[in-house]
Amino acid sequence: MNPYYPHLLKPLQVGNVILKNRMICPPSQPYNAQANETWPSDTLIECYAERARGGAAIVTCDGSGFGKIWPGGNGWDASDLGAKNYMAQMVDAVHFYGARAHGTCMTFPPEVSTEDFESLNITTEKIYECVEHFSELAKNISEAGFDGIYIHMSYRMVLTGKLLSPISNHRTDEFGGSFENRIRFPLMLCRRIKEKCGKDFMIEACITGHEIEEGGWTLDDTVAFAKAAEGLIDILTLRSYEIDHQHPIGYLKERTPFLYMAEYVKKAGVKQAVAASAGFIDPDDCEAAVREGKADLISMARAYISNSNFGQLLYEGRAEDLVPCLRCNKCHQPNHCLSVCVVNPRFASEKTIDRRTVPFTREKKIAIIGGGPSGMEAALIAAERGHKVTLFEKKGRLGGMLEHSRYATFKWPVLNWLKHYEKKLAENPNVTVQLNCAPDPDWLEAQNFDAVVAAVGGKGIVPKIPGIEAAIPAVDTFAHPELVGETAVIIGGGEIGVEAGMYLAQQGKKVTVIEMKDMIAKESFRGHYYSMFLEAVEAEKENLEVILKATCTEVSENSVAYKDENGDIHTIPCDTVLLAAGMTADVTAAAAYMNCGKQFYTIGDCRQIGSMQTAIRTGYSIGSAL
């Protein structure tokens, strides 16, 4: 028995299959791992091998299907011999580390229009055809060596989910109406898969635990379905009622908000292994869920995205080395050309990033100016490579633009990251941190550093608005809410402006945010994030008002004038005016250090205004090049 996480790392027998631990990885491949190949790419194979190497007991490999598996998306044809060859290589890579490999089944019925699919206006014969179609997919997957199949049944998004839910299923034939009729198709499908692939070919069903709409699918329905599927479904993974909420972010108060679903189903005495999901990133949360009997398995994706060696560190008792996930869901960027993880620059680049790293030749003396996220990352990476690093920070503590996370409770994931890096830097003997210190360039040059890295950040944009000098930078109010009177107007509705408004609203201030664009925090728009962000803003509506398509025209000490989309001028009285009009790179501050070392680099926002992800990425890349 593992002494560090004895329940989470304990093997589990599911039928005639033994899983090496309780951690399973659902479909979570980077978007850029697969292009137009009609087979699994080498990059994708390496991605799933990384999940297995990282300790997952089951790795679910997405993409297998008949041609295109997502509407408008790319997949590969599991019946094609060439594709099967690469699928077998993928399975072999996962098996190499003692993990089980599952393929996927997204039950979008073939040759059905989107309109007919959404309304479930498809014939009874077509549903029977789908049973054969998808069971044949499972057979091809099994022939490629996969140990099981992951059937998606959640969110009324696929045929199985639509038929299960009384909200979407209004059919009057044998597949609609009663509970028994609504579960008929998934049971027929699972039975046919077992017939074609054998009883030891595992079937994992990911299912919405319950729906929140009146008259929807209930937890008792899930229990009844599980009992009806005994001997057919081996693992039942409980998912949220909405796809976005399946990926909980920092604005949600609970870290694992849907564990209650798995607990409810487990207590009902179902025979399947029950997997909890959504928000399982902290290993202590995972261990507790299994130890307390609330789940048999933990399904986690972001844990392996933020830390590809997640399971390895747990086995070694090194959980403190796990880099905290920010729950920012940037791994779900709508731009499918590139996938990123803010805290793991290696994500989606595992196959190539080591080739880019400059080989270590000798110990160097490095100076890094600025203790924000880019400077901290560069310092840690360079120190871990064996260099001697001095990190200069002009303020009394590290963090830079992350300082607000120390005050706003909804930024707790960022604060976890910041504390982790403070600890890692303090523990590294190759790093010296100089706080309250902005080194003089002439002095720095005399210290004979091999490389100087400027990470001095950006500076706030001050728009040309009459009276704008009366405004206070919004970011300063996190540490000093006393600077703000009982009423405030924030000019700028980007993420910083909105979060400052939320924070002040929670302090009891009456806040109005005015934003020129047609949506707030437009730069934060991404999958499985923005809807929950808007919910968090809406929760503060008693004290927080947002005005869109509004252009500030004048500022005074106790009012702000703005022009609305129709050109009309309005005035908002207030005690305090705050400014959050964006940032620009502080090139002048960075340039002061250009001649202070044998090599010179700029990273983070003084190089180009970006995000925490781009700041850490540039810190990692330059730290790896020193």
C-alpha distances (whole Å) from 366 to each of 231, 444, 447, 482, 604 are: 62, 11, 10, 39, 17
Mean pLDDT of 253-275: 97
Q: For residue 374, which phi and psi values (nearest 5 degrees)? A: -70, -45
Q: How many residues are listed for the chain in this entry?
A: 626
Mean pLDDT of 236-264: 95
- Residue 383: its H or E element: helix 373-384
pLDDT tens per residue across span 184-227: 999 999 999 999 999 999 999 999 999 999 999 999 999 999 99
pLDDT tens per residue across span 125-151: 999 999 999 999 999 999 999 999 999
Supply the pLDDT for residue 351: 75
C-alpha distances (whole Å) from 37 to each of 76, 171, 373, 519 are: 8, 38, 37, 37
Supply the pLDDT for residue 337: 66
pLDDT at 65 over 70: no
Mean pLDDT of 496-502: 97
Mean pLDDT of 50-65: 89
Tell me which of 9-23, 338-352, 603-617 is least confident: 338-352
- The answer to whether residues 144 and 84 touch, using CB atoms and an 8 Å cutoff, is yes
- The answer to whether residues 550 and 518 touch, using CB atoms and an 8 Å cutoff, is no
Supply the pLDDT for residue 72: 42
Residue-range domains of the chain with CATH: 20-332 (3.20.20.70), 361-459+585-625 (3.40.50.720), 468-581 (3.50.50.60)
Share of the chain above pLDDT 90, in %: 86
**Distance from C-alpha of 492 to C-alpha of 501, rounded to nearest angstrom:** 10
pLDDT tens per residue across span 298-315: 999 999 999 999 999 999
**Distance from C-alpha of 491 to C-alpha of 577, rounded to nearest angstrom:** 8
Alpha carbon 444 to its chain's center: 40
Measured in Å, how far apart are the chain's first and last C-alpha atoms? Answer: 42
Alpha carbon 367 to its chain's center: 33
Task: Report DSSP letters for 443-474, one per residue.
Answer: HHHHT-EEEEEE---EEE-----TTGGG-EEG
**Distance from C-alpha of 488 to C-alpha of 579, rounded to nearest angstrom:** 11
Q: Which residues contact 5 (CB under 8 A, 6 or more apart)?
A: 283, 286, 287, 314, 319
pLDDT at 69 over 90: no
Mean pLDDT of 416-430: 98
Mean pLDDT of 474-503: 96
Share of the chain above pLDDT 70, in %: 97
**What is the pLDDT of the chain when averaged over all its residues?**
94
Tell me which of 57-66, 101-110, 385-394, 441-450 is least confident: 57-66
Q: Write down the pTM of the prediction.
A: 0.94
**Distance from C-alpha of 46 to C-alpha of 308, rounded to nearest angstrom:** 12
- The answer to whether residues 57 and 24 touch, using CB atoms and an 8 Å cutoff, is yes
pLDDT band (50, 70, 90) for residue 527: confident
Q: For residue 344, which phi and psi values (nearest 5 degrees)? A: -130, 90
Supply the pLDDT for residue 110: 87
pLDDT tens per residue across span 486-495: 999 999 999 9
- The answer to whether residues 315 and 330 touch, using CB atoms and an 8 Å cutoff, is no
pLDDT at 474 over 50: yes
**Distance from C-alpha of 457 to C-alpha of 606, rounded to nearest angstrom:** 5
